[in-house]
Structure 1
Amino acid sequence: MIKFAWQYREDSPIYVRTFMRQQGISRTLLKQIKFSGGQIKVDGQIVRVNYKMQTGQKLEVTLPPEIASDHVAASATPLVILYEDDHFLVVNKPAEVASVPSHLYPDDSLVNRVKGYLQRTNAPSQVTHIVTRLDRETSGVVIFAKHHFAHTVLDTQLKQHTLKKTYLCVVTGRLHTTHDIIDAPLGREPDSFIKRMVRSDGRPAQTEYWRVKLMRASTLLRVRLHTGRTHQIRVHMASIGHPLVGDFLYGQQTNPWIHRQALHCASVSFYNPFAQQQVTCYAPLPVDFAKLIARESQL
């Protein structure tokens, strides 16, 4: 069982549910704790959420057990772990690996690999809470939470835009603008389940980029997303006439050095409230991406 404890230090009495919400426990998780096998105690005594805590009292919350899905297979393929503690697991996803299982990739997605790792390490919860996702061909940092509470914490940071993801990409052509924000709404392309496009009735999307290196026929960019739409970087860069190198969906797959879109999630930074510290993880450039930059720089 996964447990957390906090001491209440303010002067005025406070309802347990209010204090729990202040610690980052969502309404959904609070309901699960109440009705799905969790437990709430104050100074060792089981209480209801309308109990009023006094200064100095200790709240202890036990999370309900999490049942792993039998429909998600466990893969023995090893992970490249960038950071791990009792609450979070951050890994470096290789290109050509799906983030989540699908009918095309049912057994060896990143989720399958993480489930296998959680089983091998006898983790208290073996449910795979994926927090950030990448397209199958995109490499780089992906965050998993090890329990529902940790997932809730990072979901909140995503919504508040305090969880920061930085990408590197190589776009076709020489982009002379050194810094800009592309602010263009995105939606589905008509008659396509996969492709997205800039459209006035789409969802708001903002992509900020900085030019890192101007090469002979392409440009290396550092990119930060201010929203998290499907294919956002790929569509936004194509919309300004500079699709990603190797992007068969929004550009052309004609580069001899890389056989996927040249997109890599290089770093992620988030606040870990359980350790009370900022965590920043970096994923080194994969071989094909580094080779692309080296070759393009030599042209």
Structure 2
Amino acid sequence: MMSTPLFALLLSVACSPPISPRLACPSCRQALQEKSYRRHLAFCAPDLLDPEGWAAGDCAVVQRHCSRLHRPGSAAARALELRFGFGGKPAVTSQQRLAAEMGWTNRRTRDTIAKFLHAIPPVSEPSDRLQVLYEDASMLVVNKPAGVGVTPEHRWRGGSVLNWVMWHLSRDAAPPQDGRGRGGGGGQRRRGRGGRGGRRTPAPAPEPRPCHRLDLNTSGALVFAKTPEAASALMSQFESRRVRKAYAALCTAPPGESLVEGEICRVDGVQHCERRVCGPGESGQAARTSLVVVADSAAGGEAGSAGAAGGECLLLARPEQGRTHQVRLHCAAAGSPILGDALYGGGEGRGPLQRHGLHALALTLVSPATGAPLEVVAPLADDMRRAALEAGLRMRSAGAGRA
């Protein structure tokens, strides 16, 4: 007969959750969970994470910032040159071997590399597509175009709204030709780490931080904080639901209800991001969204009545939370899937609208700089406006035009 302690041990093993697979970093050999593996390598061994991207341009970015941040010939510069193989030299990819060559501890080697890679800011990238809706000392709100990510797929490659905002803020911070500072910080300089012979480099402006997210193909109002303090204050407002949000949604049919309440669950076993309304007995994230019809093809209707007419319509959606895909999912749950939202029953885009017809129309929040309430409205995206006109949509008689 099995002893009680052994039986209890086997029972605890059988009932315990499965252990996440662990991977070893090929450079520092640290054991990592699969979900944190790529992020760790981005700040430890970017050359091993993406060899093609490294050869195509990432190496040049890292080498340039090594020259900017560290005095040539310094111990840190030499360690980085050995680790990443600048100048065509073979890279010392093993941090243990690098530590031995430098006469350092493994911890000092690891910390030197990670701190340096974290200090490299995202690239700043000019774009005539950046539309600033509001700006003060603490924040700015921009009108994000559809098809452009909030942040880049890689910090050093650009192609996102964050990179455009970096360029915008760097222009404001740079000293003009006559030497007078603009924006208060452009002329500050600091001494590098090289001691008395260290190079003097301009004090970098704090990296702007997006305070919320919009899907890749969602357009509209997007908030960036200029400082860590402003980011903390703004994100606190979003998390505590003190920010009022309004979305314009071009939908395939009017909703069957004006208020949708349904917890949101993840969809497991899919590569892409997908959500669903939780079934009976399931526990998910609480979510509540109000839906108001503001334009349709019926003449003389009153704004807000649900299901009054068939065909496409323009909704004003007000989510109380900010769950992933909340508006898209709740529109579909109300029988009013968003046009072009194939993931949630809205089919493919058509005519001028070749993406899902969702636009972050308005935000009401408090500016950390002024302490005053602020409402910012982003003009409806041109492709949604043209699609609404082609569909013959007309504004309803009352309350239709205000976000």
What secondary structure sits across from 1:267 in the alignment?
strand
TM-fit CA distance, 1:273: 4.2
Give the paired residue count.
231
Native 8 Å contact 2:144 2:221 kept in 1: yes
Native 8 Å contact 1:69 1:127 kept in 2: no
Find the counterpart in structure 2 of residue 182 from structure 1.
Answer: 260
TM-score by length of 1: 0.71
Q: Structure 1: 5+ residue runs without aligned partners? A: 1-66
1:163 aligns with 2:213: no
Q: How many Å separate the matches in 2 of 1:105 and 1:228? A: 29
Native 8 Å contact 1:89 1:146 kept in 2: yes
What secondary structure sits across from 1:91 in the alignment?
strand
After TM superposition, the structure 1 = structure 2 runs for residues 221-232 of structure 1, keeping only pairs within 5 Å, are 221-232=315-326
C-alpha distance 275-236 of structure 1, shift in aligned 2 (>3 A): same
Percent identity of equivalent pairs? 29
C-alpha distance 259-156 of structure 1, shift in aligned 2 (>3 A): same
Find the counterpart in structure 1 of residue 359 from structure 2.
Answer: 264
C-alpha distance 253-89 of structure 1, shift in aligned 2 (>3 A): same
Find the counterpart in structure 2 of residue 80 from structure 1.
Answer: 131
Find the counterpart in structure 2 of residue 249 from structure 1.
Answer: 343
RMSD: 2.3
1:202 aligns with 2:284: yes
Find the counterpart in structure 2 of residue 212 from structure 1.
Answer: 294
C-alpha distance 243-126 of structure 1, shift in aligned 2 (>3 A): same
The C-alpha deviation readout for 1:107-156, integer Å capped at 9, x for no partner, is 11111111122222216533121112211111110011110111111112
Opposite residue 127 of structure 2, the aligned amino acid is T
Find the counterpart in structure 2 of residue 49 from structure 1.
Answer: none
Q: How many Å separate the matches in 1 of 2:289 and 2:324? A: 12
After TM superposition, the structure 1 = structure 2 runs for residues 1-299 of structure 1, keeping only pairs within 5 Å, are 69-70=119-120, 72-78=122-128, 79-102=130-153, 106-122=157-173, 124=185, 125-175=205-255, 177=257, 180-193=258-271, 194-199=273-278, 200-215=282-297, 217-251=311-345, 252-297=347-392
Native 8 Å contact 1:131 1:151 kept in 2: yes
Find the counterpart in structure 1 of residue 43 from structure 2.
Answer: none
What secondary structure sits across from 1:230 in the alignment?
coil
The C-alpha deviation readout for 1:45-80, integer Å capped at 9, x for no partner, is xxxxxxxxxxxxxxxxxxxxxx98525222111421
Q: How many Å separate the matches in 2 of 1:236 and 1:166? A: 14
What secondary structure sits across from 2:391 in the alignment?
helix
What secondary structure sits across from 1:249 in the alignment?
helix
C-alpha distance 152-108 of structure 1, shift in aligned 2 (>3 A): same
C-alpha distance 298-210 of structure 1, shift in aligned 2 (>3 A): closer
TM-score by length of 2: 0.54
Choose 90-99 or 194-203, whichever is displaced more. 194-203
C-alpha distance 204-106 of structure 1, shift in aligned 2 (>3 A): farther
TM-fit CA distance, 1:221: 0.7
C-alpha distance 139-291 of structure 1, shift in aligned 2 (>3 A): same
TM-fit CA distance, 1:256: 2.3
Native 8 Å contact 1:115 1:126 kept in 2: no
What secondary structure sits across from 1:121 in the alignment?
helix
Q: How many Å separate the matches in 1 of 2:146 and 2:381? A: 8
Q: How many Å separate the matches in 2 of 1:273 and 1:119? A: 21
The C-alpha deviation readout for 1:235-274, integer Å capped at 9, x for no partner, is 1112233210011222210532311110011111111243
TM-fit CA distance, 1:86: 0.8
Q: How many Å separate the matches in 1 of 2:324 and 2:144? A: 18
C-alpha distance 273-195 of structure 1, shift in aligned 2 (>3 A): closer
Q: Structure 2: 5+ residue runs without aligned partners? A: 1-116, 174-182, 186-204, 298-309, 395-403
Q: How many Å separate the matches in 1 of 2:316 and 2:231? A: 27
The C-alpha deviation readout for 1:72-117, integer Å capped at 9, x for no partner, is 2221114211111111111111111111112599511111111122
Opposite residue 182 of structure 1, the aligned amino acid is V
Q: How many Å separate the matches in 2 of 1:255 and 1:104? A: 34
Larger of the two Rg values belongs to structure:
2
Native 8 Å contact 2:292 2:317 kept in 1: yes
Q: How many Å separate the matches in 2 of 1:230 and 1:264? A: 15
Superposed structure 1 runs of 4+ greater than 2 Å apart? 103-106, 123-126, 174-177, 254-257
Native 8 Å contact 2:254 2:311 kept in 1: yes
TM-fit CA distance, 1:182: 1.1
What secondary structure sits across from 2:384 in the alignment?
helix
Q: How many Å separate the matches in 2 of 1:103 and 1:83? A: 27
Native 8 Å contact 1:98 1:105 kept in 2: no
